[in-house]
Amino acid sequence: MNKRMKTGVAAAALTLALGGSSLYAYADASTPVPISSNLKEVFTITVNGQAIEDGYQVSTAAQPMIPVRSLAEALGMEVKWVPETKASELTKGIKWTSIMTGEDAYNVNKMLVRLGQAPEIVNNTQYVPLNFVSEVLYGNVSVEGSQIIITTDQANTSEEEVIKASGIITSLSSEEGKLSVHINGNGAKGIILHVSDETQFALASGDALAFKDLKVGDQVEAEHAMFATLSLPPQSPVYKITVTEQAKADLVIAEGAISEVTTNENGERSILLKGQGIDESPASGIVFNISSETKVVDPKGEAIDPSTLKEKDYVIGVYNGITTRSLPPIANAMKLVVEQAAE
């Protein structure tokens, strides 16, 4: 059966529902829910100019529902149906998505994305809400009357699926067997990169590494998914982490905004930070001495002139954990990663 014929059959089935015939959505494996009584509209759908099976919208839902398999095949994605869990698995390149019927929890590269509506099965076809296209597949959507038009930038798909980020590792986590790397901050700062079995680790030379080889203070380049959670910090699956500069073992991170910059009689500069990772006395902050051995860089690892540091610059300080007993404590900075404030 070709696409045009399939579209016609789907439209006929949905039109019958508008006329009062029985049509059911299966939110789970056992309970059919009639939707004929509140079916609001039937939509025709095109994907990059190609007609696929029709969609529908019920009066109680915010989003129209569109057919998973027809959509995925039009986008060149592999589709696998898992009957035991009533889930579709979509794969294209590095992107993998699992869609479980009846659950508003879309598994995208082992991260959950919620869209406000759960997938449904109607006449043995699985449907997802229309915002699945924009929020998960990053396609463009427009609705003109009863027509849904979906387009994707096919020429740049490969570039769009990966975002590159550079920074310093500020923490590593292996809680409950789930591995993650936090770069460029702690708390609400930076980004958390979730590691999977497919994540690659390497030195800039190409030599392979493992998660256990990573250390706080390593300078890295990461390739992660173009999508991220809306949390603070954002979180995203990571495909590859390249260590461009390895840190020495047992380093400690403290971070915060510069509240004071001083220069002593020998011309040596120091900065007072107030912020995260300052356990001794959060209210008093920590002072970092800057010597000729201190590396001062931006988040990408590019050198910054220490004389340009100023109040309100956000700094991640790397040191060996040794501080004075004074208040505020004083440490010798091995490395400072600076996010410079606007002038």
* Structure confidence at residue 181 (pLDDT): 95
Which amino acid does the sequence have at 332? Answer: N
CB 17 within 8 A of CB 35: yes
Using alpha carbons, list the distances in angstroms from residue 302 to 166, 253, 309.
10, 19, 15
Percent of the chain at pLDDT above 70?
Answer: 83
What is the average pLDDT across 135-148? 91
What is the average pLDDT across 256-283? 78
| 98 Cβ contact list (under 8 Å, min separation 6) | 87, 88, 89, 90, 106, 107
- Name the pLDDT band for 23 (thresholds 50, 70, 90): low
Is the pLDDT at 156 greater than 80? The verdict is no
Is the pLDDT at 82 greater than 70? The verdict is yes
139-171 b/e (C-beta count within 10 Å ≥ 16 → b)? bebeeeeeebebebeeeeeeeebbbebbbbbbe
Question: What is d(CA 154, CA 45) in angstroms, rounded to the nearest whole number?
Answer: 18
Percent of the chain at pLDDT above 90?
Answer: 55
* Structure confidence at residue 40 (pLDDT): 78
Is the pLDDT at 211 greater than 60? The verdict is yes
* Structure confidence at residue 154 (pLDDT): 53
More confident residue, 286 or 186: 286
More confident residue, 262 or 229: 262
Rg (CA), the chain: 26
What is the average pLDDT across 78-82? 93
Question: Which range among 48-57, 228-237, 242-251, 307-316 shows the weakest confidence by mean pLDDT?
Answer: 228-237
What is the average pLDDT across 327-342? 92
Is the pLDDT at 277 greater than 90? The verdict is no
| 212 Cβ contact list (under 8 Å, min separation 6) | none
Question: Which range among 46-55, 245-254, 333-342 shows the weakest confidence by mean pLDDT?
Answer: 245-254
* Structure confidence at residue 36 (pLDDT): 58
Is the Cα torsion angle 106, 109, 110, 113 positive or negative in sign?
negative
Using alpha carbons, list the distances in angstroms from residue 142 to 47, 52, 174.
11, 15, 42
Q: In whole numbers, what is the pLDDT of the chain averaged over residues? A: 84
What is the average pLDDT across 1-13? 47
* 3-state class (DSSP) for residue 188: coil
More confident residue, 229 or 319: 319
DSSP element (H, E) containing 15: helix 3-18
30-44, 104-118, 206-220, range with greatest mean pLDDT? 206-220
Is the pLDDT at 33 greater than 60? The verdict is no
* Structure confidence at residue 276 (pLDDT): 54
Is the pLDDT at 7 greater than 80? The verdict is no
CB 105 within 8 A of CB 116: no
* Structure confidence at residue 2 (pLDDT): 47
Question: What is d(CA 58, CA 295) in angstroms, rounded to the nearest whole number?
Answer: 60
197-201, 227-231, 259-263, range with greatest mean pLDDT? 259-263
Model pTM greater than 0.75? no
- Name the pLDDT band for 279 (thresholds 50, 70, 90): very low
* Structure confidence at residue 237 (pLDDT): 86
Is the pLDDT at 13 greater than 60? The verdict is no
What's the CA angle centered on 290, arms 287 and 294, to 5 degrees? Answer: 125
